[in-house]
Amino acid sequence: MPSDLILNLDNTNFDATIKASTVPVLVDFWATWCGPCKQIGPVLDQLATEMNGAVQIVKVDVDTNQALAQQLGVNSIPALFLYKNGVVVDKMVGARPKGDIAAFIKKHS
């Protein structure tokens, strides 16, 4: 489960949340049955705490938000999309070590 620092988004609040953010937004597209998704969950919790507001981390469950995932071109999970100023600036697919995810975020911060 996400920490208090990580929001769960769906098709009703995704666009507004992404566009309203004044910091980069890392979106984790995941599913409850996905083993690699479960592996990076705790890593994202740690990064949300360590980055102390420099990035907003959010999660989208692809099973309950299939139309949104399809619209955004999510073909494999876990998929991390990094948004800046409401636009996707980079994507990472698959479970990666904490250092790789941190570097991925910092590259665009």
Per-residue model confidence as pLDDT tens digits over 7-58: 999 999 999 999 999 999 999 999 999 999 999 999 999 999 999 889 999 9
pLDDT score, position 84 = 96
* The CATH number, out of the four listed (3.90.700.10, 3.40.30.10, 3.20.20.70, 1.10.1060.10), of the domain defined by the range 7-106: 3.40.30.10
Q: Catalytic residue, from 6, 9, 27, 37: name it.
A: 37
How is residue 8 annotated by DSSP? Answer: E
Which pair of structure tokens corresponds to residue 1?
Answer: 């489960």
Residue of 61, 46, 62 lying closest to 5 (CA atoms): 46
Alpha-carbon torsion 20, 85, 95, 65, what sign?
A: positive
Q: Is the pTM above the cut of 0.85?
A: yes
Q: Catalytic residue, from 26, 27, 34, 68: name it.
A: 34
Active site residue 66: no
* Residue 102 confidence (pLDDT) above 60: yes
Per domain, the residue ranges of the chain are: 7-106
Active site residue 37: yes
